[in-house]
Structure 1
Amino acid sequence: MIRILLAEDDDAMRTYLERSLGNAGYDVVAVDRGTAALPFLESEHFDLLLSDIVMPEMDGIELAQRCAECSPATRVMFITGFAAVTLRASREAPRAKVLSKPFHLRELVLEVERLFEDAATISM
């Protein structure tokens, strides 16, 4: 089962994504900020870090950079509602997928599936 670490500061969005991704068959651990995500990345295995970009204390881009250091096999996908931030994310974390809000849950699940289908194809 694919394990996802979700970092999202908006309570309603975090709850919705955690429940929806869980219902789609993923094992999800959800936190409300990047600094809360770091201990999980350092001590547990996650297949995917799904992070908002704009968060207090540590933004998603810095979190992704720290993830690359402590858990390099973990893939990264950003979710954001800010177009300018999308450009920054593409420049500073080029291997990360960026999904712009608003998005439909099905779109998110398809992107996660696609991310891991690509990984399976590459490892063959």
Structure 2
Amino acid sequence: MSKALQETVALLPAEPCCPSLTERELTVQEAELTAAMFKALGDPVRLRLFSKVASHPDSEACVCDISDVGVSQPTISHHLKKLKEAGLLTSERRGTWVYYRVAPSVVAAMGQMLTLK
């Protein structure tokens, strides 16, 4: 994802990024943003990590709680970085651990986009 698109993702309010696919055609920016999100989730390890964070109490998890996905720690860090770059996760360092949280309303927004009206 380009730096400009990353900055746009960071500024988005906690509401759907894009309309339902049946509502109207997506703009170029909406399509790029949505494609980046779905591309990030297109990897099985990333999808599992995202699921672990999303299903964890308070939709927040320490990296130490989600690292059992069958790959090395550097690979986990790489995948978590990709999820953050796509705007799907946010993170906060607390002492030596990093805590990940699902970005506000992202799951509902992606679901709404795929809803047929």
TM over 0.5, shorter chain: no
TM-score (norm 2): 0.28
More strand by share: 1
Q: Larger Rg: 1 or 2?
A: 2
